[in-house]
Amino acid sequence: MSTLRMLMAAGLLLTALPVSGRAGAASDMDLEILRDTIRANRRALVAANLKLTDEEAKRFWPVYDRYQTELTGVQDRLVTIIRDYTANFSSLSNEKALQLVDAYLGVEADRVAVRRSYLGEIAKALPGRKVARFYQIENKMDAVIRYDLAAEIPVVDP
């Protein structure tokens, strides 16, 4: 999945730079265009790696679109947390740090809840092995994004 890594890393770098403040503030419209591009690339990568039959595709893509719509709301909350963190990084109080960690853990719990809530619907659309492959593809894409994002976000000083 080297193509996966290149596409996701490129998309992440485009979105991470404005978040970290090194490239200046991007407009909301620019960020929305970048998010749409990442979503489209994500969909293309799922399609290329899942290899659906026509019948599976008819059942799967509507579920996938709803799934991604719900995940987008969760991911937008993560972006908000990262922006809050980077805005307060140099003067981060203990209270603010705990607040951000709590918000982050809430996002993570919600991400898992969305994934779990769609398992049944995805399992109705696809055979078990393809369901497993779909979640593996999702996890690999998220791992690439998280790895690259981790390199961009500074660690709190003790």
133-158 b/e with 16+ CB inside 10 Å = b? bbeebbebbbebbeebbeebeeeeee
Distance of CA 151 to the CA centre of its chain: 16
Query: Per-residue pLDDT for 122 more than 80?
Result: yes
154 or 106: whose pLDDT is higher?
A: 106
What does the pLDDT look like over 66-103, one tens digit per residue? Answer: 999 999 999 899 989 988 998 888 899 999 999 999 99
Q: Report pTM.
A: 0.76
- CA pair distance 139, 120, nearest whole angstrom: 18
In the predicted structure, residue 133 carries a pLDDT above the cut 90: yes
Tokens of 31: 């960020």
Q: CA separation (Å) from 104 to 4, 24, 107, 110?
A: 26, 24, 5, 10
Q: What is the DSSP letter of 66?
A: H
Instruction: Please tell me the chain's helix, strand, coil percentages from 3-state DSSP, rounded to the nearest 5.
Output: 85, 0, 15
Closest CA to 25 of 15, 12, 36, 39: 15
According to the model, what pLDDT value does residue 70 have?
Answer: 95
Radius of gyration of the chain (CA): 17
* Opening angle at CA 99, ends 25 and 38, nearest 5: 40
